[in-house]
Amino acid sequence: MVMPFAIPELSVWTYDDLFDLPDDGNRYEILHGELLVTPPPAFGHERVGTKLLVELIRWCEAHTDWTVLPRGGVYVSQTNWFEPDVVVYPASGDGVTDWRALPVPVLVVEVLSPSTRKRDRHRKRPVYLAHGVPEVWTLDPTTLEIERWTTASEFPEPMGDPIRWVPRPDVPPFELPLAALPSTR
């Protein structure tokens, strides 16, 4: 019989504390020293996130040497560590063995779920932007509505159809019709 794991009570969690947690399928993140535990995502959540991930990988492979990862880690500080649903790093990632060595991402996408919607939109998003992430998208998998936030945003910009992302002037924009994303309705 496997004994359940009791998460220790810490007043402030750090990145280093995460290595003492079990690999149990939960997502463990830290926000201002608070441990955030999220159960594995629902099927529809993963399906829409994976489709966007695949299309971003194709675009990045064709036009840049950037790395696109699902649940890629974003190390902000010892007390701020996130695992967004999709993250694009402006580097190949070759030879990197520690998340902390990666550059600041150029894009972070959080696929919203009922249990994390408020946290992703209102608590994590401002930390990403303050860390220097130029764009954060929040994607509602039911309606396929995407809010685009930038460091200059006071309010979100609803993305239209197609989704359009212009991270650099020297490459063609990333474009994806919303119909290419599977809705969870």
- Condensed to tens digits (0 to 9), the pLDDT of residues 60-113 reads 999 999 999 998 899 999 999 999 999 999 988 788 889 999 999 999 999 999
Determine the structural domain holding residue 90 and report its residue range: 42-180
- What is the number of domains present in the chain? 1
Place of tokens 């979100």: 156
Say if 123 falls within a structural domain: yes
Contact 162, 175 (CB under 8 A): yes
Cα separation, 45 vs 164, whole angstroms: 21
pLDDT at 151 over 80: yes
Three-state DSSP class for residue 164 = strand
Residue 32, phi-psi category: left (phi > 0), alpha (psi -120 to 50), beta (remainder): left
What local confidence, expressed as pLDDT, does residue 3 receive?
53
Say if 142 falls within a structural domain: yes
What local confidence, expressed as pLDDT, does residue 4 receive?
63
What local confidence, expressed as pLDDT, does residue 24 receive?
87
Cα separation, 62 vs 139, whole angstroms: 24
Cα separation, 146 vs 37, whole angstroms: 24
Say if 71 falls within a structural domain: yes
Say if 3 falls within a structural domain: no
Say if 22 falls within a structural domain: no
CATH number of the domain residue 104 falls in: 3.90.1570.10
Contact 137, 110 (CB under 8 A): yes
Q: Kindly report, residue by residue over 12-30, the tens digit of the pLDDT.
A: 999 999 998 988 888 999 9
Q: Kindly report, residue by residue over 130-147, the tens digit of the pLDDT.
A: 999 999 999 999 999 999
Cα separation, 32 vs 49, whole angstroms: 26
Say if 5 falls within a structural domain: no
Band of the pLDDT at 32, cuts 50, 70, 90?
very high
Say if 23 falls within a structural domain: no
